[in-house]
């Protein structure tokens, strides 16, 4: 007999081989039917395994997970991934299984399968899954040692599983499998007791993926689905997704005429329409004021810079693929540049030219004015490159500015600096261009031309901590000003195993320790992400979710001990010697494009008064009141408000409806009565009719709300920044 302690403290006696299901049954049949899994000592476990296998603790501290618990839903979703895999294996030949974890409310499974699965196939897969659920066979767990497991997976023709056991699971002596009817899968579990519990599921979409997330590995087909214990919950979830799509900034951006993207202008190049531009300008004014208060100085830099500048900074080789190609003073430059790349042994996207191709290149270069005799046609690749480099250097090469830091570094350097001048804080709304992969572009959230609310701080090593702290404070201040409080801070650090980072380990250690310390002191919860740092230093990023739950980086603060070295930045210390400053990169908004894009979704297009592009609309009751309406609008405009009048010959109801649909914060209804008393009937978008008040009272009310930057947010987003990202039930 074993003793089991339930969450209410009661202790019950059971047979030695009792399972959580047996315990549930001991309480009631209904409970047993609803039990999907169990939790012992913080770990989710199978409800159908003997408790003695699961823990040495006595009495066994057991918590049952029923169909009402969110943790149970995750277990069921993973079981659903197995059910889907089983259905697909019944319908297709030669299905290779990869991984099938749970991610939030969804699950997926990656398949190695020659036949492409398309949306049209979903109904038949779902039908097969329904059959499996109806059959309601149990999930059975068994274990094998390494050699047996490898042999077993080989016999099943599951080579990806074999590979994973050999490489990824090299330290596992014993491995578990789950069987469900004819379907067996290497899996850590846990699972629901039987397939019959997966009552409501839906296949959502199919997409490409790669084995172990590496593009150089074979590509797989990933099928996504979602599942709930209850059909109503599933329907509610699908409804929620549809609702979320309505606040998509791309949808609202076009409906509210905030921005547009035109293929002839270029992919990822955002055109700010007047209303979007008004929001942006308001935010820029807001932060400019704050920067002045905090001792920042404005600067401006041009949109291009010589390639040598980025060679000095170290950016050029690192980000070659995500920059627009250099602009050359002479058109031959492009050719020479390409030629050099072809001869570069590290460049695998282009091949060295054969003799005939090389002759053509040389002819072209000669036409363009280079001396062909210089070129060692029969020489080594290195000799050739040396000559080509010389040619390349004979002319100017410019880069469309991919970042502002090198420009600001040169501005720091332009003036002799004393320790008394530090910190120097140079701020600029810097427009930069990055050739992001076409598949990455997303409305305003990921673009190829963006304006950072950038600044670079140059300070003494002693000042770093305080400056970093103040900068974090600024980011928090900015986010709070717009009511964006649902964010997550990510500390991106160096991956010790990688060689892409510049600077000594000591500097990195030092910088990361400082960041950690200040973040902790600021009371900010943060998660550390090794390998996510910039090549020049660690950073603290503020992450926010969009309407569909995808995470985006907004504000960022980055520590940099490397660029000052590369640019040999100095200041004169107290000791009259030259010292090296430390650089802090920071952008509280991140970029204006992404920030405004996120704000559109955050407010679902309904901006608070201080940000709304159209703050007030005056609605005359009929044409008889048009003149008074125009007069009211003029007076409000003089008070600094963005006002329009609706002079359509439509009924008041229709005008109100239009204004509500356009998400205008305040409507002022004016008719003969108001005109007579110099009054307005105020209607708030959220609170509705507020009644008639004198013009002066209304102006005072609106002015207060605007100046206080009051946030009135009605509909919150479905996705929270702290939501669990992924639950891996796979090994």
Partner RNA sequence: GCUGCUGUAGCUCAGUCGGUAGAGUGCGUCCUUGGUAAGGACGAGGUCAUGGGUUCGAAUCCCAUCAGCAGCUCCA
Q: Which of residues 394-453 bind RNA (CB under 7 A)?
A: 402-403, 405, 434-443, 446
Q: Are 509 and 515 in contact (CB under 8 A)?
A: no
Return the H-helix or E-strand segment holding 27.
Answer: helix 20-27
Report the alpha-carbon distance of residue 148 to residue 146 in Å, rounded.
Answer: 6
In this structure, what are the phi and psi dihedrals at residue 196, rounded to the nearest 5 degrees? -60, -20
Nearer to RNA, 434 or 642 (CB): 434
665 scored as a contact of RNA (CB under 7 A):
no
Does 247 bind RNA (CB under 7 A)? Our answer is: no
Residues 554-583 that bind RNA (CB under 7 A): 556
**Is-contact 535 314, C-beta < 8 A?**
yes
Residue with smaller CB distance to RNA, 419 or 535: 535
Mark the segment that binds RNA (CB under 7 A) among 210-218, 300-308, 354-362, 383-391.
Answer: 210-218
DSSP track, 280-331: HHHHHHHHHHHHHHTT-EE----SEEEHHHHHHHTHHHHTGGGSPPPEESST
Residue 721: CA count within 13 A, CB half-sphere: 20
Judged by CB under 7 A, does residue 347 bind RNA? no
Are the beta carbons of 188 and 729 closer than 8 angstroms?
yes
Q: Which is nearer to RNA, 229 or 501 (CB)?
A: 501
What would you measure as the largest C-alpha separation in the chain, in angstroms?
95
Judged by CB under 7 A, which of 19, 67, 180, 323 binds RNA?
Answer: 323
Contact 639, 695 (CB under 8 A): no
Q: Which residues have a catalytic role annotated?
A: 405, 434, 452, 454, 456, 539, 585
State both tokens at 382: 């290195």
* CB-neighbour burial class of residue 224 (10 A; exposed 0-12, middle 13-18, buried 19+): middle
Options 389, 624, 637, 716; binder of RNA; rule CB under 7 A: 624
> What's the min distance (Å) between Cβ of 591 and RNA?
10
Instruction: State yes or no: residue 150 binds RNA (CB under 7 A).
Output: no
Taking the complex as a whole, the smallest distance from the CB of residue 611 to RNA amounts, in Å, to 19
Q: Of these, 688, 715, 720, 724, which contacts RNA (CB under 7 A)?
A: 688
Q: Does 292 bind RNA (CB under 7 A)?
A: no
302 sits near RNA (criterion: CB under 7 A):
no
Q: With binding defined as CB under 7 A, does residue 297 bind RNA?
A: no
Site for RNA in 513-532 (CB under 7 A): none
CA 224 to chain centre: 19
Q: Is 627 in the site for RNA (CB under 7 A)?
A: no
From 332-340, 383-391, 656-664, 697-705, span contacting RNA (CB under 7 A): 656-664
Beta carbon of residue 59, minimum distance to RNA (angstroms, whole number): 42
Contact call for residue 674 and RNA (CB under 7 A): yes
Through-space distance between the first and last CA atoms of the chain, rounded to whole angstroms? 33
Please give the structure tokens belonging to residue 397.
Answer: 């090469």
Q: Which one, 170 or 215, has the nearer CB to RNA?
A: 215
Which letter does DSSP use for residue 521 in this model?
H
Asked if residue 671 binds RNA (CB under 7 A), the reply is yes
673 in contact with RNA (CB under 7 A): yes
Site for RNA, residues 170 to 209, rule: CB under 7 A: 205-209
- The smaller minimum CB distance to RNA, of residues 69 and 454, is found at 454
Binding of RNA by 263 (CB under 7 A)? yes
- Supply the minimum distance, in Å, between the C-beta of residue 309 and RNA: 12
| Cα–Cα distance, 3 to 12 (Å, whole number) | 6
553 vs 644, beta carbon nearer RNA: 553
Residue 722 as a binder of RNA (CB under 7 A): the answer is no
Q: Which stretch binds RNA (CB under 7 A): 92-100, 354-362, 417-425, 653-661?
A: 653-661
User: How far is residue 179's CA from residue 83's CA, in Å, rounded to a whole number?
Assistant: 11
- Residue 255 or 359 having the CB closest to RNA: 255
Smallest separation, CB 158 to RNA (Å)? 21
Q: Which span sits near RNA by CB under 7 A: 90-98, 281-289, 509-517, 654-662? A: 654-662
Q: Does 550 bind RNA (CB under 7 A)?
A: yes
Q: Which stretch binds RNA (CB under 7 A): 91-99, 168-176, 275-283, 644-652?
A: 644-652
Q: Determine, following the binding rule CB under 7 A, whether residue 239 of this chain makes contact with RNA.
A: no
Kindly give, in sequence order, each residue whose CB lies less than 8 Å from that of residue 474, ignoring residues fewer than 6 positions away. Answer: 290, 294, 586, 588
> Which residues contact residue 721 at a Cβ distance below 8 angstroms, ignoring those fewer than 6 apart?
486, 487, 488, 543, 544, 545, 551
DSSP string of 71-98, one letter each residue? HHHHHHHHHHHHHHHHHHHHHSSSPEE-
DSSP-derived secondary structure letter, 137: P
In terms of CB distance, is 151 or 437 closer to RNA? 437
Residues 218-237 that bind RNA (CB under 7 A): 219, 221-222, 224
Q: Measured from the CB of residue 680, what is the shortest distance to RNA in angstroms?
A: 8
* Contacting RNA within 474-493 (CB under 7 A): none
Instruction: Tell me the C-alpha distance between 530 and 534, whole Å.
Output: 11
**∠ at Cα 85 (79, 86), nearest 5°?**
90
Residue 271 interacts with RNA (CB under 7 A)?
no
Residue 353 Cβ vs RNA, minimum distance, rounded to whole Å: 22
| b/e per residue 89-104 (b: at least 16 CB within 10 A) | bbeeeebbbbbbbbbe
Nearer to RNA, 209 or 394 (CB): 209
Nearest to 683 by CA among 652, 639, 649, 637: 652
Q: At what angle do helices 381-393 and 332-343 cross, to 10 degrees?
A: 150
Does 718 sit near RNA (CB under 7 A)? Answer: no
- 70 binding RNA? (CB under 7 A): no
Question: Residues 85-124 vs RNA: string with x where CB under 7 A?
Answer: -------------------------------x-xx-----
- Which residues have CB under 8 Å from 499's CB, separation 6+? none
Query: Using CA atoms, how far apart are residues 272 and 260, in angstroms rounded to an integer?
Result: 7
Which CB, 197 or 554, lies closer to RNA? 554
Least Å distance between CB 73 and RNA? 20
Q: Can you state the angle between helices 464-481 and 505-521, rounded to 10 degrees? A: 50
Q: Is 534 in the site for RNA (CB under 7 A)?
A: yes
Residue 194 is classified by DSSP as: B
Least spacing, CB of residue 102 vs RNA, in Å: 13
Q: Which SS3 state, helix, strand or coil, does residue 389 take?
A: helix
């Amino acid at each position: 007999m074993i003793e089991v302690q339930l969450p209410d403290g009661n202790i019950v006696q059971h047979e030695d081989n009792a399972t959580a299901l047996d315990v549930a049954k001991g309480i009631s049949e209904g409970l047993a039917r609803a039990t999907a899994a169990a939790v012992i000592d913080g770990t989710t476990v199978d409800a159908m395994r003997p408790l003695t296998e699961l823990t040495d603790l006595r009495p066994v501290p057991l918590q049952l997970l029923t169909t009402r618990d969110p943790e149970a839903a995750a277990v069921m979703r993973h079981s659903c991934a197995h059910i889907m895999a089983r259905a697909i294996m019944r319908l297709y030949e030669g299905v290779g299984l990869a991984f099938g974890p749970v991610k939030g409310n969804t699950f997926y499974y990656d398949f190695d399968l020659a036949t492409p699965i398309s949306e049209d196939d979903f109904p038949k897969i779902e039908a097969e899954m329904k059959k499996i659920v109806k059959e309601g066979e149990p999930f059975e767990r068994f274990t094998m040692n390494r050699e047996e497991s490898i042999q077993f997976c080989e016999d099943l023709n599951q080579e990806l599983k074999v590979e994973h056991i050999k490489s990824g699971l090299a330290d596992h002596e014993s491995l578990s499998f789950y069987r469900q009817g004819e379907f067996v899968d290497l899996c850590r579990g846990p699972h629901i007791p039987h397939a019959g519990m997966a009552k409501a599921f839906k296949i959502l979409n199919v997409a490409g993926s790669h084995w172990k997330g590496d593009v150089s590995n074979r590509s797989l087909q990933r099928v996504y689905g979602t599942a709930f214990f209850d059909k109503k919950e599933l329907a509610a979830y699908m409804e929620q997704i549809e609702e979320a799509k309505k606040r998509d900034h791309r949808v609202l951006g076009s409906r509210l005429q905030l921005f547009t993207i035109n293929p002839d202008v270029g992919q990822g190049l955002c055109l700010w329409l007047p209303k979007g531009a008004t929001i942006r300008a308001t935010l820029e004014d807001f932060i400019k004021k704050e920067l002045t208060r905090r001792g920042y100085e404005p600067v401006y830099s041009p949109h291009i810079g010589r390639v040598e500048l980025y060679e000095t900074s170290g950016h050029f080789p690192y980000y070659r693929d995500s920059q627009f190609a250099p602009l050359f003073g002479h058109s031959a430059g492009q050719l020479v540049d390409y030629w050099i790349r072809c001869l570069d042994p590290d460049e695998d996207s282009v091949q060295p030219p054969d003799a005939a191709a090389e002759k053509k290149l040389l002819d072209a270069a000669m036409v363009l004015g280079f001396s062909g005799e210089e070129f060692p046609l029969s020489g080594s690749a290195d000799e050739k490159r040396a000559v080509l480099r010389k040619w390349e250097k004979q002319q100017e090469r410019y880069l469309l500015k991919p970042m502002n830091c090198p420009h600001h570094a040169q501005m720091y350097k332009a003036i002799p600096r004393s320790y008394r001048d530090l910190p120097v804080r140079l701020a600029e709304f810097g427009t930069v261009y990055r050739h992001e992969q076409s598949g990455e572009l997303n409305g305003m959230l990921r673009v190829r031309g963006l304006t950072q609310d950038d600044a670079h701080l140059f300070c003494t090593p002693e000042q770093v901590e305080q400056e970093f702290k103040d900068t974090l404070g600024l980011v928090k201040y900015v986010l709070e000003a717009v009511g964006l409080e649902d964010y997550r801070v990510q500390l991106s650090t160096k991956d010790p195993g990688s060689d892409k980072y510049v600077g000594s380990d000591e500097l990195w250690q030092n910088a990361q320790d400082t960041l950690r310390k200040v973040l902790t002191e600021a009371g900010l919860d943060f998660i550390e992400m090794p390998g996510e740092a910039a090549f020049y230093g660690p950073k603290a990023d503020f992450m926010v979710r969009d309407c569909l739950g995808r995470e985006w980086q907004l504000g960022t603060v980055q520590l940099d001990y490397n660029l000052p070295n590369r640019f040999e930045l100095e200041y004169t210390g107290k000791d009259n010697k030259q010292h090296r400053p430390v650089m802090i990169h920071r952008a509280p908004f991140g970029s204006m494009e992404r920030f405004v894009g996120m704000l559109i979704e955050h407010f679902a297009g309904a901006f608070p008064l201080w940000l709304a592009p159209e703050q007030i609309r005056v609605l005359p009751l009929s044409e008889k009141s048009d003149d008074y309406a125009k007069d009211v609008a003029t007076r409000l405009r003089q008070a600094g408000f963005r006002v329009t009048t609706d002079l359509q010959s439509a009924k008041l109801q229709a005008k109100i409806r239009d204004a509500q649909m356009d998400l205008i914060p305040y409507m002022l209804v004016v008719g003969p009565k108001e005109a007579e008393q110099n009054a307005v009937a105020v209607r708030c978008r959220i609170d509705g009719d507020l009644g008639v008040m004198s013009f002066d009272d209304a102006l005072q009310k609106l002015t207060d709300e605007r100046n206080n930057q009051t946030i009135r947010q009605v509909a919150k987003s479905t996705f929270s920044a702290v939501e669990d990202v992924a639950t891996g039930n796979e090994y």
